[in-house]
Amino acid sequence: MSKLFSFSGSDNFFPGGSIYPNPKESSLFFSLGHHVDVYFPHHKRSRFSPPIVFSGERVEKKNPSIEILPDECLFEIFRRLPGGQERSSCACVSKRWLTLLSNIHRDEINDNNKGGVVSKVEDQDVEGDGYLSRVLEGKKATNVRLAAIAVGTASRGGLGKLSIRGSNSTCGVTNVGLRAISRGCPSLRVLSLWDSSSVGDQGLCEIADGCHQLEKLDLCHCPAITDKSLLAVAKGCPNLKDLTIEGCANIGNEGLQALARCCPNLKAISIKDCPLIRDQGIVSMLSSASFTLTKIKLQALNITDVSLAVIGHYGKAVTDLSLISLPNVSEKGFWVMGNGHGLQKLKSFAVTSCRGVTDLGLEAVGKGCPNLKQLCLHKCAFLSDKGLVSFAKTASSLESLQLEECHRITQFGFFGSLLNCGAKLKAFSLVNCYGIKDLNLGLPSVLPCKSLRSLSIRNCPGFGDASLAALGKLCPQLEHVELSGLHGISDAGFLPLLETREADLVKVNLSGCVNLSDKAVCIMADLHGWTLEMLNLEGCKISDASLVAIAKNCQLLSDLDVSKCAITDSGIAALARSNQIKLQILSMSGCSKVSDKSMPSLLKLGQTLLGLNLQQCKAISSSAVDLLVEQLWRFPFIKDLLLDFESR
């Protein structure tokens, strides 16, 4: 900064002028808003009497003003202030002073207390690592707030995390604001820029020049940032560990190649919708960070099978891999990746909308990733039963399998994967798979899948009673069961599932199973009530009889949803009379037969409730709800009660 002014110690001041190379930059700082990071002294300003000037017979009082001093003089004064509190106080005086203070480099501060005097003001936002975190969103994202943060956090632990989301439409964040951060916050380690169209290469280059401790960089929809910025980050921030780039149309291969060369500690990359990034950039990054890169997410990119082949060969440290919407990747890419024998440490693999996921490709992945524990397949249109079963046979370490909108998967693939999976499979999820048909397969007499603890089948219209009955025999150790939106499920299929249990149910979601009745719920409460913690019966064909059975048997139940059910005031009263049940969440949305008569029962239940949903209970009046709210808030131990009801 001294060189900027052409001034040092014994030299004469530079005659006049502004500290800004571009005089328009100072206009980018606007007046201070509320809640900025500046220190306000607790004492009042001291009064002073202005000098008296005698001029003939007139006696004039002249107010001396420090504002007549040029920027260079004020700069030298500010950098000699004894501590951060004093500089923060000065920043409150005017926009000009804040501007000057925010342009002082930390190494230009001549602070006599820099040797270790602890500030008297304790910051309540100091995190465990000793740094501060700030988030600016929408209208609050302005240059002046960044300047205030740069000055105010310097003496209070130092800024460690900064997130800028959106920007003020009239006076948003620009390169000037980032320059203030770079000069006042050398401790910055995490920077997120989302939807910041006014921030360009100059601002990010300033960050790279002043914030050498940067470890995480998140750039989302920043069209003015190009490879030039990443080149500067690569040179100035060698400790970078986490990189996210999304929707940055002007970032390409050159930037990624520079980061690959200069950032040896890179552990995680996420790149989405960047049309200039192709195989060259991905290949350079993966080959250079072969032993450090653990997490990779590639989405909507113009990469080919070459990138997947490099992942399969060089991904020696990769544990999490996510590939989404890669239209130019074929079956060959997945086959080569699986046979590259480099993904020995891969534990989690997620694929969405990639036409290259075929039977052959998935089988190769199963063979080449011996430690794979979690597989998520979404919209894999070319995957069939044969590939899924082959994968299940080879993936011996698999613990969780999720299939969504894989319409070529049928009953044979579903049960075949359960029969052939390893002994470690704990969770299976099937969502919106329209190829499932309710067939009586006549499963052979085989050893059951006793490792499976959690099963989720949602919105698969072909899944019915025959499938559910077979599932009960095959998976006797289920504890968490979700069967939502299955109109083909009735008591005839659900009861065998209950009766073949070797383990007791803990969480059950039956929402949208419109053909389940009181009989199934009462038997479930009788057989598994003593372990049941969560129960969702939304839309089921139940009445007060189910609530009576729940109140009698479900001592540990804390979350109950009976929305859109034919329950009445009598059922709610049965819950309230139970001295065992201690509900925390109760949802009764759309229960048209529950009226104001249930208010005393709800008040009693409210002694333990944290959430209560009364939406669209048309028989309950607004006045009754208002009275209930008033009475519930009197309980001293209720801290976070949610009352959600239809406004009338």
Average of per-residue pLDDT across 158-179: 84
Q: How far is CA 355 from CA 170, 312, 321, 328, 431, in A?
A: 44, 18, 17, 9, 19
Span 183-224, pLDDT tens digits: 888 889 999 999 988 899 999 999 999 999 999 999 999 999
In the DSSP assignment, the letter for residue 588 is -
CA angle 321/327/329 to nearest 5° reads 60
Residues 6+ apart with CB under 8 A from 441: 411, 412, 415, 470
**pTM (2 d.p.):** 0.81
Lowest-confidence region among 35-44, 73-82, 363-372, 617-626? 35-44
For residue 371, pLDDT over 80 is answered with yes
The strand ranges marked E within 221-266 are 242-246
Cα–Cα distance, 35 to 202 (Å, whole number): 28
Q: What is the mean pLDDT of residues 127-156?
A: 74
More confident residue, 116 or 51: 51
* Residue 541 DSSP symbol: B
CA neighbor of 12 nearest in space, from 76, 105, 81: 76
The distance of Cα 537 from the centroid of its chain, to the nearest Å, equals 29
pLDDT digits (tens, 9 = 90+) for 487-540: 999 999 999 989 888 889 999 999 999 999 999 999 999 999 999 999 999 999
318-335 pLDDT, tens digit per residue, is 999 999 999 999 999 999
Contact between residue 29 and residue 139 where contact means Cβ atoms under 8 Å apart:
no
pLDDT digits (tens, 9 = 90+) for 573-615: 999 999 889 999 999 999 999 999 999 999 999 888 888 999 9
CB 178 within 8 A of CB 203: yes
Q: Distance between CA atoms of 119 and 97, rounded to whole angstroms? A: 22
Given this model, what pLDDT does residue 125 score? 43
Specify the DSSP element, H or E, that contains 374.
strand 374-378
- Whether residue 251 contacts residue 225, with contact meaning beta carbons closer than 8 Å, is answered with yes
**Spatial contact of 138 and 165, defined as CB atoms under 8 Å apart:** yes
Q: Which of 77-81, 475-479, 525-529, 597-601 has the lowest mean pLDDT?
A: 77-81
The beta strand positions in 16-167, using DSSP E, are: 52-55, 58-61, 132-137, 159-165
- Average pLDDT (284-294) is 92
Answer for the pair 311, 337: CB distance below 8 angstroms, yes or no. Answer: yes
User: In 17-155, where do the E strands start and end?
Assistant: 52-55, 58-61, 132-137
Q: What pLDDT, in 10s, does the model give residues 3-24?
A: 333 333 444 434 444 444 554 4
What Å distances lie between residue 585 and 337, 611, 632, 642, CA to CA?
47, 5, 14, 9
pLDDT of 630 strictly over 90: no
